[in-house]
Amino acid sequence: KERNGQEPEFLQAVEEVAETVIPYIVKHDIYYGKNILLRMVEPERVITFRVCWVDDNGEIQVNRGYRIQMNSAIGPYKGGLRFHPTVNMSVLKFLAFEQVFKNSLTTLPMGGGKGGSDFDPKGKSDNEIMRFCHAFMSELFRHIGPNTDVPAGDIGVGSREIGFLFGMYKKLRNEFTGVLTGKGLSWGGSPIRPEATGYGNVYFAQKMLETKGDSFEGKNVVVSGSGNVAQFAAEKVLQLGGKVITLSDSSGYIYDTDGIDVEKLAFVMELKNVKRARISEYIDVYPNAKFVKGKTPWEVTCDVALPCATQNELNENDANTLLSNGCICVSEGANMPSTKEAIAAFHKAKILFAPGKASNAGGVATSGLEMTQNSLRFKWSREEVDNKLKDIMSDIHKSCLEYGKDDDGYIDYVRGANIAGFVKVADAMLAQGVV
């Protein structure tokens, strides 16, 4: 706390892990007395850099770029790049720390990292986005590589941005390697990577529901966000027979009691990915729905809630509202969307609750599969990758059961994910000595 006092999101993420992992360390001699958690909370390397670029008016703009190389005990650093005005050291360190545990859970050999910039892509032209991405990579390229650090997308960084970033990396290094994931299908990308985080989250929720002999069939599902994760979570819910009744963005949420079906979802994808417009425009085309300005969708009665927008978007009041409306399952698509108090409320009510580091790990897992395909110079089919994704989500679920089952049979997925993620990284760090 003394060293990281100015970093609230990072402290929040570390506290959540420490609360479940310290009691485990205390009971296991191989970890006790080795300051292993103290080593894990200190990034191996933090890089910040200036990003200068010229906007369409000819004005010079300056942003700050970051890469947090958190832990490489089990593989090259791996984690997304976020372009959003709220990006700062605290947010990126929390994300990088979570990424270490998440990547460990995927069963694939990937360390943890995260990066990005306080650059705001909203309202920027394609040319401005390209100039910014090129400027950003003209510094980042010297710190990354296919065996060192492999960034991917996150908020504000989708396939368009990955293309511009990859183009500049390739030019500067004069090599075509799998240095970034989330690439286009025709130039090294993996099938299912765009869908993977949202699909994986729903596969994980399905596993949780199965523990109760239940399924998505006929369930009312509230989804927040309308970006990459939210869109494909919604798509998979529909395929499994559920009804998606909300989506949102930072301006508010839409509520469609008739359900957001395949056709309406295609409209949302076009609206957000091509026109880059606001979710409120949904009601212009589907006037039966309503738009609730400035609010999150947790007040809508549902069976399952999938927070897929951003950190701390679901607080204790929201959790209590969801519970009193009969919600039985919350599965996080975003990173740390539920506050600590909200998680405590879900645990107290003993409903199914999955933390993002377990339930949204399908994205990075499929990025890991993209790295494998790039190394092999080979491409698997959509079905092959989807089946591997399903298997990985099922394995993560099993790991959570192994370490998270309470005496009364309730599954604490937070404890399960934290300990399972910790054990693999800690064992590797101990084997490699004090480095």
State how beta strands 112-117 and 77-83 pair: parallel
16 binds ligand NDP (CB under 6 A): no
Contact window for ligand NDP (CB under 6 A) among 150-158, 208-216, 238-246, 318-326: 150-158
Residue 273 makes contact with ligand NDP by CB under 6 A: no
- 276 Rama class: left (phi>0) / alpha (psi -120 to 50) / beta: left
Q: Which of 7, 16, 195, 249 binds ligand NDP (CB under 6 A)?
A: 249
In whole angstroms, how close is the CB of 306 to ligand NDP at the nearest point?
A: 11
Interface residue with ligand NDP, options 4, 177, 250, 317 (CB under 6 A): 250
Q: Which of 156, 178, 188, 404 binds ligand NDP (CB under 6 A)?
A: 156
63 forms part of the interface with ligand NDP (CB under 6 A): no
Of 215 and 321, nearer to ligand NDP (C-beta) is 321
Alpha-carbon span 190 to 5, nearest angstrom = 40
Binding-residue pattern over the window 227 to 246 for ligand NDP, x denoting contact by CB under 6 A = xxxx----------------
Taking the C-alpha atoms of residue 386 and residue 380, their distance in angstroms, rounded to an integer, is 10
370 part of the interface to ligand NDP, by CB under 6 A:
no
Provide the Cα torsion 65, 70, 74, 77; round to 10°: 0
Question: Of the listed 78, 93, 102, 114, which one is catalytic?
Answer: 114
Kindly state whether residue 335 participates in binding ligand NDP, applying the rule CB under 6 A: yes
User: Could you give phi then psi for residue 409, rounded to 5 degrees?
Assistant: 95, -10
Which part of the chain contacts ligand NDP (CB under 6 A), choosing from 25-33, 138-146, 306-314, 408-416?
306-314
The Cα–Cα gap between 127 and 253 comes to 30
How far is CA 303 from each of CA 219, 285, 326, 355, rounded to the nearest angstrom? 6, 27, 6, 17
Pick the closer one to ligand NDP by CB: 106 or 226. 226
**Site for ligand NDP contains 90 (CB under 6 A):** no
Q: Which is nearer to ligand NDP, 138 or 231 (CB)?
A: 231
Q: Which is nearer to ligand NDP, 334 or 411 (CB)?
A: 334
Residue among 329, 109, 145, 307 at smallest CA distance from 219: 329
Q: Does 200 bind ligand NDP (CB under 6 A)?
A: no
For residue 48, what are its two tokens? 């910040």
Per the listing, tokens 């599965």 go with 331
CA distances from 337 to 330, 340, 417 (A): 11, 10, 16
User: Helices 193-210 & 228-239, crossing angle to 10 degrees?
Assistant: 50
How many chain residues touch ligand NDP (CB under 6 A)? Answer: 24
Cα(253)–Cα(75) distance, integer angstroms: 39
Cα 352 to chain centroid distance, Å, stands at 19
Of 21-29, 103-111, 327-335, 413-421, the window that binds ligand NDP (rule: CB under 6 A) is: 327-335
The encoded tokens of residue 91 equal: 């947010």
**390 assigned to active site:** no
H/E element, 65: strand 60-71
Question: In whole angstroms, how close is the CB of 220 to ligand NDP at the nearest point?
Answer: 20
Closer by beta carbon to ligand NDP, 50 or else 276: 276
Output 72 or 181, the one with its CB closest to ligand NDP. 181
Q: Per CB under 6 A, which of residues 403..432 are in contact with ligand NDP?
A: none
CB atoms within 10 A of CB 177: 17
- Residue pointed to by tokens 């800690």: 426
Collapsing DSSP to helix, strand or coil, 67 comes out as strand
36 vs 230, which CB is nearer to ligand NDP? 230
Query: Is residue 153 at the binding interface for ligand NDP, with CB under 6 A as the rule?
Result: yes
Q: How far apart are CA 182 and CA 82, in angstroms?
A: 13
List the one residue from 7, 154, 318, 412 that touches ligand NDP (CB under 6 A).
Answer: 154
Q: Which is nearer to ligand NDP, 72 or 248 (CB)?
A: 248
Q: Which two tokens stand for residue 362?
A: 């399908």
CB of 174 to ligand NDP, least distance (A): 29
As a whole number of angstroms, the distance between CA 195 and CA 386 comes to: 9
Q: Which one of residues 73, 322, 334, 343 is an interface residue with ligand NDP (CB under 6 A)?
A: 334
347 burial level (CB within 10 Å; 0-12, 13-18, 19+): middle
The footprint of ligand NDP (CB under 6 A) covers 153-156, 158, 197, 225-230, 249-251, 308-310, 313, 333-335, 360, 363
Active site residues: 114
